[in-house]
Amino acid sequence: MKRGIYFLSGFVLMALLAITTGCGKGGTIIDKNDDVENHNWTYVNKFRYDVAIDDPGLTYNVYINLRVTGDYKYSNIFILLTQVDPDKKSTTTRFELRLADKDGAWLGDGSGNLYSFQQPVLTKYKFPAKGKYTFYIEQNMRDNPLREVSDVGLRVEKAEK
């Protein structure tokens, strides 16, 4: 009897763990970050991310991942996001990401002297066709290089219905 209860308890625990960690379908298509060399992001340093979209009937959320040091001197950052469709059509959009409030307090998650941000730029977005999409992320500030940017990345996930 006890062995059956232990087995059932273990099975229920594993099922809950699978559900909460997303072992089922999983909604993340890509979540990748790249280091910015010497924390100096130049205009020519564009970050490239390839994303395979298998179901254009679904909606997706697209995020910019960013990490800056506590010495980053602005409360925002302007980013250019270029999307190249499978048919090679290119679209570039400029986004302003807020990093600090009016009092200078960081809006991201802090750890030591680093602050992490994951900002949505496209929500409930429908990709026009199935295939491989390429995204390029580049900084669009006046400073070149833009100092104290540690990491840049992209996250694409299936949107919840």
- Rounded Cα distance between 67 and 115, Å, is 5
CA nearest neighbour of 92 among 40, 46, 144: 46
Domains of the chain from N-terminus onward: 27-158 (2.60.120.260)
The torsion angles phi and psi of 152, rounded to 5 degrees, stand at -135, 145
Tens place of pLDDT per residue across the chain (161 aa): 544 444 434 444 344 333 333 443 469 999 999 999 999 999 999 999 999 999 999 999 999 999 999 999 999 999 999 999 999 999 999 999 999 999 999 999 998 899 999 999 999 999 999 999 999 999 999 999 999 999 999 999 999 87
pTM above 0.75, yes or no: yes
